[in-house]
Amino acid sequence: MKKQKQVKMNVYRDVFNSDFNISFNQPKKDRCDLCEQFAVAERNENMTMALMKNYDEHCAGKQSTEKERIKDRNGNIPVLCFDLQNVISLPHANVSNMCYKRKLNL
């Protein structure tokens, strides 16, 4: 059996980008409605105290969820997660509810 020469990652990327017109990028994170509402209010400089309070509580909940997830990963009990439906929605958006409520799928 003939031993093949290994190529570097940049050669692999160049072939896919030029020959196949496929590009590599980092996936974006979905934002929930409250996070998106906070980001828009922050950009438009019309922040309210109620929105800030809700967002702070929301972030505290996200942090406690992350701590639980880390505890599950470091524990002795196996935890399995499955994505039972992988659908790419069109048009693509970062707001999760808008993305999941679309009926047009690829």
Residue 61 falls inside a structural domain? yes
Residue 74 falls inside a structural domain? yes
CA distance 16 to 49: 49
- The larger pLDDT score, comparing residue 50 to residue 88, is at 50
Domain, as residue range, for 88: 29-101
Give the pLDDT confidence of 3-62 residue by residue, as tens digits: 777 778 888 788 888 888 777 676 677 778 899 899 899 999 888 999 999 999 999 999
Tell me if residue 25 falls in helix, strand or coil.
coil
- Do the Cβ atoms of 98 and 34 come closer than 8 Å? no
How large is the average pLDDT for residues 78-98? 64
Which tokens in the block code for residue 70?
A: 């880390």
Residue 57 falls inside a structural domain? yes
Q: Which residues pair with 31 in a beta bridge?
A: 95
pTM of the model: 0.49
Number of domains in the chain: 1
Phi, psi values for residue 17, rounded to 5° = -70, -40
Question: What is residue 61's predicted lDDT score, i.e. its pLDDT?
Answer: 94
Residue 89 falls inside a structural domain? yes
Question: What is residue 106's predicted lDDT score, i.e. its pLDDT?
Answer: 47
Residue 23 falls inside a structural domain? no
Residue 35 falls inside a structural domain? yes
